[in-house]
């Protein structure tokens, strides 16, 4: 490959954006471009240059990702694009290597992304680590529930007043579930004002924000939604710490006048709606998405930083073609007070690729399932069950950030 992988300076950000819009076949207006530009100035930017032209581009937002028991710095990859004239020549492969060097230099043990196509990222050590369900509710009849909703009042909030009310609930949600990214003011502003930016199809109304709880008291839940011209209510995000709060918010959405359907493109697979709905013909799961893809860039740090449900003592033989420091045999000794992960000469109990470890890391995918699928090898009977018990989390990991 004759391309040269190096950082993209601020002066080349517009050229990098032009490449991204070319690769994604996107036509963007001034407001979207301005927002992308501002975001990119805060990102790490790796470029592939061919004779001075940018032919490859990948950015990484510097964020925090909730993991069981805490949070870790993560490189969230975005704008990954290669010029159509330079595809399948190893440009992306070169940029990924550049990203790993940057993660190591910065002490970021994780990388994550939303994939445009499933086939791209497994070879780079990524695996889907969260799953999201798309759900539709037929609201031509009242929503039947098996529990009593929280009866506190519901209030509409103006977007300008919302961030301070919503952010603490979101943070509490992140503490419960792995897979959720940190958000700054700019993120909230963009998300809550969506619908007013160019590039919008104009068919949906503006974002509406409803919170549960008495005025003056901390909010007990929120939902952000838009209503489309065909009477479809589209849920951007709901945060409800308990089932009665969730029941109040889903009931509210289902009862909005002049609408006939509620559509949520991403809810957690363990969302209580799927259990307390009285009629599952009325509340249907219409799709399942892999959602957030995760890469353990520094396996030792990732494993020793998360919490563990029960003790485990196992030797893992890990393969990692791109990052040799992760490869080899290591003894994982974990219990609810912490974990160690050290090189070991003992025979392995489990052998697996780093991407399978990423799939299991947040507690969303049991390793036993991957052993049964032939993707990981259990050399000591019961080892996968033992690791699964230690990895288990109270709530399933979830990511649904893209609203």
Ligand X SMILES: CC(C)(COP(=O)(O)OP(=O)(O)OC[C@H]1O[C@@H](n2cnc3c(N)ncnc32)[C@H](O)[C@@H]1OP(=O)(O)O)[C@@H](O)C(=O)NCCC(=O)NCCS
Active-site residue, 403 included: yes
DSSP 205-256: ---EEEEES-TTSPPSEEEEEEEBTTSEEEEEEEE-SSHHHHHHHHHHHHT-
Alpha-carbon span 387 to 365, nearest angstrom? 12
Alpha-carbon span 48 to 6, nearest angstrom? 6
Do 30 and 120 form a contact (C-beta atoms < 8 A)?
Answer: no
Q: Which is nearer to ligand X, 113 or 314 (CB)?
A: 113
* Helix axes 383-391 and 354-361, enclosed angle (nearest 10): 40
Alpha-carbon span 288 to 395, nearest angstrom? 18
Tokens (6 digits) for 51: 């004779």
In the complex, the smallest distance separating the C-beta of residue 90 from ligand X, rounded to whole angstroms, is: 5
Q: Which is nearer to ligand X, 228 or 290 (CB)?
A: 290
Instruction: List the catalytic residue out of 49, 170, 341, 403.
Output: 403
Do 21 and 13 form a contact (C-beta atoms < 8 A)?
Answer: no
How big is the chain, counted in residues? 403
Binding site for ligand X (CB under 6 A): 23-24, 80-82, 87-93, 113, 115-117, 119-120, 123
What are the b/e assignments for 265-288, b being 16+ CB within 10 Å? bbbbeebbbbebbeeeebbeeeee
Q: Which is nearer to ligand X, 80 or 314 (CB)?
A: 80
Q: Which is nearer to ligand X, 93 or 134 (CB)?
A: 93
Alpha-carbon span 68 to 158, nearest angstrom? 33
In the complex, the smallest distance separating the C-beta of residue 184 from ligand X, rounded to whole angstroms, is: 22
Q: Which is nearer to ligand X, 114 or 170 (CB)?
A: 114
- Backbone dihedral region for residue 51 (phi beyond 0: left; psi -120 to 50: alpha; all else: beta): left
Q: Which is nearer to ligand X, 39 or 120 (CB)?
A: 120
Q: Which is nearer to ligand X, 223 or 354 (CB)?
A: 354
Alpha-carbon span 211 to 58, nearest angstrom? 37
For residue 136, the tally of other CB atoms under 10 A from its CB is 17
Instruction: List the catalytic residue out of 121, 124, 133, 361.
Output: 121
Active-site residue, 133 included: no
Alpha-carbon span 378 to 384, nearest angstrom? 6
Active site residues: 121, 403
């Amino acid at each position: 490959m004759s391309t040269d992988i190096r950082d993209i300076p601020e002066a080349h950000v517009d050229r990098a954006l032009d490449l991204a819009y070319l690769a994604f076949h996107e036509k963007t207006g001034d407001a979207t471009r301005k927002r992308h530009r501002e975001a990119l100035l805060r990102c790490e930017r790796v470029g592939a240059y061919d004779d001075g032209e940018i032919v490859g581009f990948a950015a990484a937002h510097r964020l925090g990702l909730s993991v069981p028991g805490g949070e870790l710095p993560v490189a969230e990859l975005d704008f990954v694009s290669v010029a159509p004239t330079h595809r399948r020549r190893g440009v992306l492969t070169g940029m990924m290597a550049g990203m790993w060097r940057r993660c190591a230099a910065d002490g970021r043990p994780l990388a994550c992304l939303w994939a445009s196509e499933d086939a791209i990222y497994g070879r780079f050590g990524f695996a889907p680590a969260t799953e999201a369900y798309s759900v539709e509710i037929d609201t031509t009849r009242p929503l039947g529930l098996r529990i009593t909703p929280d009866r506190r009042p519901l209030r509409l909030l103006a977007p300008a007043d919302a961030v301070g009310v919503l952010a603490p609930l979101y943070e509490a949600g992140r503490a419960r579930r792995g897979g959720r990214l940190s958000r700054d003011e700019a993120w909230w502003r963009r998300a809550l004002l969506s619908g007013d930016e160019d590039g919008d199809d104009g068919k949906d109304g503006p974002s509406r924000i409803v919170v549960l709880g008495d005025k003056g008291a901390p909010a007990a839940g929120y939902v952000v939604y838009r209503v489309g011209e065909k009477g479809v209510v589209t849920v951007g995000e709901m945060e409800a710490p308990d089932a009665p709060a969730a029941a109040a918010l889903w009931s509210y959405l289902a009862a909005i006048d002049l609408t006939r359907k509620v559509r949520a493109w991403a809810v957690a697979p363990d969302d209580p709606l799927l259990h307390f709905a009285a009629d599952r013909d009325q509340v249907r799961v219409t799709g399942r998405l892999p959602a957030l893809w995760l890469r353990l860039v520094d396996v030792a740090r990732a494993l020793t930083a998360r919490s563990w449900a029960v003790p485990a003592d196992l030797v893992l033989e890990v393969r990692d073609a791109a990052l040799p420091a992760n490869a080899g045999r290591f003894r994982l000794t974990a219990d609810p007070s912490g974990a160690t992960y050290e090189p070991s000469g003992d025979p392995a109990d489990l052998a697996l690729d780093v991407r399978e470890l990423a799939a299991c890391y947040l507690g969303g995918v049991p390793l036993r399932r991957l052993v049964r699928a032939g993707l990981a090898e259990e050399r000591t009977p019961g080892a996968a069950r033992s690791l699964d018990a230690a990895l288990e989390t109270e709530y399933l990991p979830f990511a649904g950030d893209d609203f």
